[in-house]
Chains A and B, each alone.
Chain A
């Protein structure tokens, strides 16, 4: 076997390994990035939010990171686990932040609905 031919055969598995590693890099998935829909949090009672619950902390982190509202800026750098939702100042800022998030969502909604609708709500999704 020629040297060049041998090199091609040897480099093929390496190429496949590299490709598969690239496909599983989280950065690759971001090409299909979807913004979190945090509008439902506006309906929640802020005083009853359990900030010790990791799910609530994660949602708060995600929604605050995605929020473009000016009142949310101050909260972006706070650790959700340390937020005291019974503190009137925190509660008021959070309420304002959520209101602005809701307003922005309402503004964006007509634009999104004009691009199509989610047909997976009927409990049966199709993969083709």
Chain B
């Protein structure tokens, strides 16, 4: 009974304190002030758990094809390289100014788990985007085949040299048509 009384006071008090803090405008909202460690951990955990749950039933098709690399490479260069970089470029104005900092997808060793999970994760993120991170949802304007082609390219990207990247991403009209 005592615990119920304590909770009855503590919960409304905590809720009021949170509401007062939100309403006060004291939280620094600028992208140039990083989150507190605990806030960052909470948001990151929320994001990763949500993506893991939402992407678990995605069936990964065969993506080991040169045509998919060519289609996905050109799209990556047009839509993603500005924030997620490319071989030979370690940072740019976007990666310096954006918060959270977009991951460098051209750098090896960014895996979050086994390859199959990583592939499903990439597909889900490209298709649905991530709230309040600057990552848009490409699903409304790009069909699944086109998104899988981008995923196919992402799987190979960390191994590519600058020269290979240039060849695979050049849009000279010879890349295979999307279906």
Contacts and interface: CB of A to CB of B under 8 A. Distances in A.
Interface in A79-128: 80-81, 120-121, 123-128
A37 B171 contact: no
Contacts of B92: 124-127
- Which applies to chain A's interface (DSSP): helix, strand, loop or mixed? helix
Contacts of A23: 141
Given A26-B75, A55-B159, A36 B172 contact: yes
A54 B89 contact: no
- How many chain A residues sit at the interface, stated as a range, is 35 or more
A119 to B, nearest CB: 11
Contacts of A9: none
A34 interface: yes
Contacts of A125: 89, 92
Contact of B64 (A34, A54, A121): A54
A74 to B, nearest CB: 17
B178 interface: yes
Interface of A: 20-21, 23-24, 26, 29-30, 32-38, 40-41, 54-55, 57-63, 65-66, 80-81, 120-121, 123-128
5 contacts: A59-B164, A59-B167, A60-B66, A66-B172, A121-B88
